[in-house]
């Protein structure tokens, strides 16, 4: 291990920023800790306004050439990055698991392949991106997507590389240059991505990676006048701060924020399927923004649903995420564990009943929890916990189910279990959510729009929606030959 390199499960990771095609160290560092056992992984360069300015300058300098690069060449390079991800898939998986505590088996089989797919999908979508020309009084309208400029992408810790590349890939495909700021709790795979991108032929300055705290480097990035796009995934309070920071420059924002999504289970549902969907909400130790954390179950089947859920949840194995047999790993950080437990203990003090869980297991792990006897206006029902904590309420008819489902300030997703297709159509039409799943969960396609309603976000990304955000969409109107406009 050198001064600026740490080793994670045999994988060397550079702890410095990546700016303008070079590694850049900061005078100060912050400590990266594994959530698996609390062990110190290493000291990471801690960026400030100085590194932010350097990264934006590098992105600005690289932008004209990258924006002018033909679509086919940009796509070729993005496919090369995907190739690099696939070649280092095992390394990326073990580093990510060590850094954020999610299941190694999931990283190997699903998450890291999805990282490569993010690059391939947007590379291919770029090549078919078009809008059919149309006429207005004989004039031809032609729609084009012009690269917008340097883009700041601020990403969360719950799925670090997958969610980073969900932003990086379309931004690069669009012809923008990028400054990526990963979450300070999970910076390592972003550093590896910088290496892979450079090895794949991405020109210097097109992708820059800077590490540090939001209050120190994040504010400097989001307020910079040369930044033309900001995409953020994270909490509502941080989004407000970013929006205020960007306002002075009218920098366009895409915000994917928190959720308090419902799972509606009707009496005509396949209860075994509904229970499977419900138990799936403990995925990633409950640290999933889309998770349906509020179970709304029709009164006539609530008792049976609860019995089956308790039995199924009891079969889950919680432990070391590197073990193939583990179903639930640790929570990300002691601070997050304190937050989760605070929600639960306040709910219990207010009269909630813990059907299962309701307590920490140790310093890294929180017991999977289901709370009943909760009021609709209570904190535990209204606020995002971001841990393995679920609530259950009952309803008597469709109207009450929809009212309860929509009665929060969020609107990211909703899941519905019913055996009646007509009911499914009626209910989904009334739900306030960016994504609704019927008799399934977490089926995602990159060509679909993704984002939230209300306090769950601003804007949509995915497919053409991503290019609409990362580009300046332009309409060019051309008069027919020999035509003169006399007013």
Would you say residue 383 lies in a domain? yes
Would you say residue 26 lies in a domain? yes
Would you say residue 64 lies in a domain? yes
Q: Please tell me whether residues 184 and 70 are part of one structural domain.
A: yes
Q: Please tell me whether residues 372 and 422 are part of one structural domain.
A: yes
* CA–CA gap between residue 125 and residue 487 (Å, rounded): 40
Q: Please tell me whether residues 381 and 366 are part of one structural domain.
A: yes
Would you say residue 125 lies in a domain? yes
Burial of 69 (0-12, 13-18, 19+ CB in 10 A): middle
Contact 355, 370 (CB under 8 A): yes
Q: Please tell me whether residues 340 and 210 are part of one structural domain.
A: no
- What is the pTM (predicted TM-score) of this model? 0.95
- Residue 159: CATH number of its domain: 3.40.605.10
Q: Please tell me whether residues 317 and 172 are part of one structural domain.
A: no
* CA–CA gap between residue 77 and residue 81 (Å, rounded): 6
Q: Please tell me whether residues 352 and 461 are part of one structural domain.
A: no
Would you say residue 444 lies in a domain? no
Which candidate in 96, 184, 256, 298 is catalytic? 256
Q: How many domains does the chain have?
A: 2
Q: Please tell me whether residues 235 and 127 are part of one structural domain.
A: yes
User: Which residue matches tokens 């019995």?
Assistant: 307
Q: Please tell me whether residues 252 and 266 are part of one structural domain.
A: no
| Domain range enclosing 365 | 262-438
179 membership: H or E segment, kind and range? strand 178-181
For residue 77, what are its two tokens?
């390079």
pLDDT in tens, the chain (487 residues): 578 999 999 999 999 999 999 999 999 999 999 999 999 999 999 999 999 999 999 999 999 999 999 999 999 999 999 999 999 999 999 999 999 999 999 999 999 999 999 999 999 999 999 999 999 999 999 999 999 999 999 999 999 999 999 999 999 999 999 999 999 999 999 999 999 999 999 999 999 999 999 989 999 999 999 999 999 999 999 999 999 999 999 999 999 999 999 999 999 999 999 999 999 999 999 999 999 999 999 999 999 999 999 999 999 999 999 999 999 999 999 999 999 999 999 999 999 999 999 999 988 899 999 999 999 999 999 999 999 999 999 999 999 999 999 999 999 999 999 999 999 999 999 999 999 999 999 999 999 999 999 999 999 999 999 999 999 999 999 999 876 665 4
Distance (Å) of CA 107 to CA 155, 194, 365, 462: 17, 19, 19, 22
Could you tell me the maximum CA-CA distance found in the chain, to the nearest angstrom? Answer: 80
Contact 354, 348 (CB under 8 A): yes
- Residue 302: CATH number of its domain: 3.40.309.10
400: annotated active-site residue: no
Q: Please tell me whether residues 283 and 242 are part of one structural domain.
A: no
**DSSP notation for 126-143:** HHH-----EEETTEEEEE
Q: What's the pLDDT at 487? A: 46
Would you say residue 486 lies in a domain? no
CA dihedral 6, 82, 158, 375 (to 10 degrees): 180
285 phi-psi bin (left φ>0, alpha ψ -120 to 50, beta other) = left
Would you say residue 350 lies in a domain? yes
How are beta strands 253-256 and 457-458 bridged, if at all? antiparallel
Would you say residue 246 lies in a domain? yes
Q: What's the pLDDT at 482? A: 73
Euclidean distance between the first and the last CA atom of the chain, given in angstroms as a whole number: 73
Q: Please tell me whether residues 224 and 267 are part of one structural domain.
A: no
Q: Please tell me whether residues 251 and 275 are part of one structural domain.
A: no
| Beta sheet of 262-265, edge-to-edge order | 353-356, 369-372, 389-395, 294-298, 262-265, 413-417, 435-438
Q: Please tell me whether residues 161 and 208 are part of one structural domain.
A: yes
């Amino acid at each position: 291990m050198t001064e600026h390199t740490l080793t994670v499960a045999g994988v060397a990771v550079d702890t410095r920023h990546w700016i303008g095609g070079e590694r850049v160290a900061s005078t100060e560092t912050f400590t990266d800790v594994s959530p698996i056992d609390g062990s110190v992984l290493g000291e990471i360069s801690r960026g400030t306004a100085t590194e932010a300015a350097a990264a934006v300058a590098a992105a600005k300098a690289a932008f004209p050439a990258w924006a002018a690069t033909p679509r086919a060449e940009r796509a070729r390079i993005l496919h090369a990055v995907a190739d690099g991800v696939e070649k280092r898939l095992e390394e990326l998986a073990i580093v990510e698991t060590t850094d954020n505590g999610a299941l190694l088996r999931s990283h190997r089989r699903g998450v890291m392949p999805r990282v490569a797919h993010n690059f391939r999908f947007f590379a291919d979508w770029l090549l078919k991106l078009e809008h059919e020309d149309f006429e207005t009084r004989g004039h031809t309208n032609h729609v084009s997507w012009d690269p917008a400029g340097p883009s700041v992408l601020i990403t969360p810790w719950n799925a670090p590389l997958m969610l980073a590349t969900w932003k990086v890939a379309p931004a690069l495909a669009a012809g923008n240059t990028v400054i990526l700021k990963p979450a300070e709790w999970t910076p390592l795979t972003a550093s590896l991505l910088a290496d892979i991108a450079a090895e794949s032929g991405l020109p210097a300055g097109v992708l820059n990676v800077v590490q540090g705290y939001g209050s120190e480097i994040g504010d400097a990035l989001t307020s910079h006048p040369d930044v033309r796009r900001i995409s953020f995934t994270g909490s509502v309070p941080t989004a407000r701060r970013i929006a205020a920071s960007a306002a002075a420059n009218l920098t366009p924002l895409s915000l994917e924020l928190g959720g308090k999504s419902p799972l509606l289970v009707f009496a005509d549902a396949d209860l075994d399927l509904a229970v499977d969907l419900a138990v799936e909400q403990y995925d990633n130790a409950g640290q999933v923004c889309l998770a349906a954390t509020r179970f709304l179950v029709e009164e006539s089947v609530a008792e049976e649903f609860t019995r089956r859920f308790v039995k199924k949840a009891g079969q889950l194995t919680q432990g070391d995420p590197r073990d193939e047999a583990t179903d639930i790993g640790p929570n990300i950080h002691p601070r997050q564990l304190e937050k989760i437990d605070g929600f639960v203990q306040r709910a219990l003090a207010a009269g909630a009943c813990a059907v299962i869980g309701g307590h920490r297991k140790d310093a890294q792990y929180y017991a999977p929890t289901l709370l009943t006897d909760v009021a609709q206006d209570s904190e535990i029902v209204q606020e995002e916990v971001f841990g393995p904590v679920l609530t259950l309420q009952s309803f008597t008819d469709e109207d009450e189910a929809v009212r309860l489902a929509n009665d929060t300030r969020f609107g990211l997703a909703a899941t519905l279990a019913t055996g009646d297709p007509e009911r499914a159509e009626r209910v989904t039409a009334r739900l306030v959510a960016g994504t609704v799943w019927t008799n399934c969960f977490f089926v995602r396609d990159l060509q679909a729009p993704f984002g939230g309603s209300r306090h769950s976000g601003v804007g949509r990304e995915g497919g053409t929606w991503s290019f609409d955000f990362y580009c300046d969409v332009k309409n060019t109107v051309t008069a027919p030959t020999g035509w003169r406009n006399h007013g």
